[in-house]
């Protein structure tokens, strides 16, 4: 049975409803243009709308981390975008997460209203990140990331990568009760670009993602709540033959319901109202007993 975690003032995990994290991108390079807002008024309006629709965490990203794109911007630009976004939503009553792999960006965000760091490298990109999280008493959402493939089954590689993140967090003194984990849907690929890419040569990336979602319950052994981000991602486009992320809502909702049935405690989405409905139905039907599969 997974323990709970604290994201800012929010409790996530066993005994609590599945939480909704709304993705707010202030990076024009992001793969789903429908999620992008760059003007202060549009950012504030989008965040207020997400809160009204049921989001309890707002995850602000200022640099695209899509693993198949080389979209890196300078630290100065990322900091400028994050600072402007946080200024635009100042005073809104919601837990704010910053989606970044850079300690300097995380530090600026934590000094300006954020209380969660969503690091898609799982503390492996920037050696200072763990210390910044710890020194600010922040919560951590650590994603599975690996520099090389071990050749093991997908869920076992994900589990190994997340164990490494937990070890790095422990060494830095980050409180375990402030840590959530993310299996990294979409980031383990045969080919990729950028720092968030995790190489694997076992199978097509969309098959990898399907297998990880099917075996998600294996990650209960890590003792941390799970956040799954799969909204409008490319594995859905491959399965459904839909190139445009704008067309992938229904596939996203189906995959989200299955992720919740298999143990997700929080989901990250671009579509708050629709996702919340899918989540609540999945909870009502499936959360009635053990759900962890056995993988050898």
pLDDT digits (tens, 9 = 90+) for 82-139: 999 999 999 999 999 999 999 999 999 999 999 999 999 999 999 999 999 999 999 9
For residue 10, being part of any structural domain is answered with yes
**CATH number, domain with residue 54:** 3.20.20.20
291: pLDDT strictly greater than 70: no
Q: For residue 152, what are the β-bridge partners?
A: none
Lowest-pLDDT choice from 33-47, 92-106, 199-213: 33-47
What are the tokens at 26?
Answer: 């202030």
Identify the band that residue 207 occupies on the pLDDT scale cut at 50, 70 and 90. Answer: very high
288: pLDDT strictly greater than 80: no
What are the tokens at 125?
Answer: 């990109």
- pLDDT value at residue 292: 41
11: pLDDT strictly greater than 60: yes
Query: Which structural domain range is residue 49 located in?
Result: 5-286
C-alpha distances (whole Å) from 66 to each of 41, 189, 229, 269 are: 26, 11, 12, 15
- 181-202 pLDDT, tens digit each: 999 999 999 988 888 899 999 9
Of the chain, the percentage scoring pLDDT greater than 70 comes to: 95
- pLDDT value at residue 67: 82
For residue 255, being part of any structural domain is answered with yes
For residue 171, being part of any structural domain is answered with yes
Identify the band that residue 33 occupies on the pLDDT scale cut at 50, 70 and 90. Answer: low
C-alpha distances (whole Å) from 53 to each of 24, 212, 221, 269 are: 14, 29, 33, 12
For residue 76, being part of any structural domain is answered with yes
Mean pLDDT of 236-247: 96
For residue 296, being part of any structural domain is answered with no
For residue 183, being part of any structural domain is answered with yes
* Domain tally, the chain: 1
Q: When comparing pLDDT for 192 and 230, which is higher?
A: 230
For residue 294, being part of any structural domain is answered with no
Rounded CA-CA distance 73/63 in Å is: 7
Q: Would you say 122 and 164 are in contact if contact means Cβ atoms under 8 Å apart?
A: yes
Opening angle at CA 33, ends 28 and 38, nearest 5:
40
- pLDDT value at residue 21: 98
Mean pLDDT of 157-167: 98
- 276-285 pLDDT, tens digit each: 999 999 999 9
Cα Rg of the chain, angstroms: 17
Rounded CA-CA distance 36/26 in Å is: 6
293: pLDDT strictly greater than 50: no
For residue 98, being part of any structural domain is answered with yes
């Amino acid at each position: 049975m997974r323990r709970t975690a604290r994201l800012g003032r929010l409790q996530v995990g066993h005994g609590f409803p599945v939480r909704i994290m709304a993705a707010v991108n202030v990076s024009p390079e992001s793969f789903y243009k429908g999620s992008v807002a760059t003007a202060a008024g549009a950012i504030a309006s989008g965040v207020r709308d997400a809160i009204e629709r049921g989001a309890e965490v707002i995850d602000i990203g200022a640099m695209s981390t899509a693993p198949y794109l080389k979209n890196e911007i300078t630290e100065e630009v990322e900091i400028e975008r994050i600072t402007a976004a946080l200024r635009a939503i100042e005073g809104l009553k919601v837990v704010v997460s910053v989606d970044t792999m850079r300690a300097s960006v995380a530090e600026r965000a934590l000094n300006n209203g954020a209380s969660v760091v969503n690091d898609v490298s799982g503390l492996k990109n920037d050696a200072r990140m763990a210390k910044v999280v710890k020194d600010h008493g922040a919560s951590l959402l650590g994603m599975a990331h690996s520099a090389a493939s071990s050749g093991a089954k997908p869920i076992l590689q994900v589990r190994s990568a997340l164990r490494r993140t937990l070890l790095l967090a422990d060494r830095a003194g980050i409180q375990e009760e402030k840590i959530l984990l993310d299996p990294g849907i979409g980031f383990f690929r045969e080919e990729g670009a950028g720092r968030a890419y995790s190489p694997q040569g076992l199978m097509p990336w969309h098959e990898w993602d399907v297998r990880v979602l099917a075996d998600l319950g294996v990650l209960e052994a890590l003792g941390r709540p799970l956040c799954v981000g799969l909204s409008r991602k490319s594995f859905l486009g491959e399965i459904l033959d839909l190139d445009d992320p704008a067309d992938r809502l229904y596939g996203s909702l189906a995959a989200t319901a299955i992720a919740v049935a298999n143990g997700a405690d929080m989901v990250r989405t671009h579509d708050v109202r629709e996702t919340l409905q899918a989540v609540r139905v999945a909870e009502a039907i499936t959360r009635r007993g053990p759900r962890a599969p056995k993988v050898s």
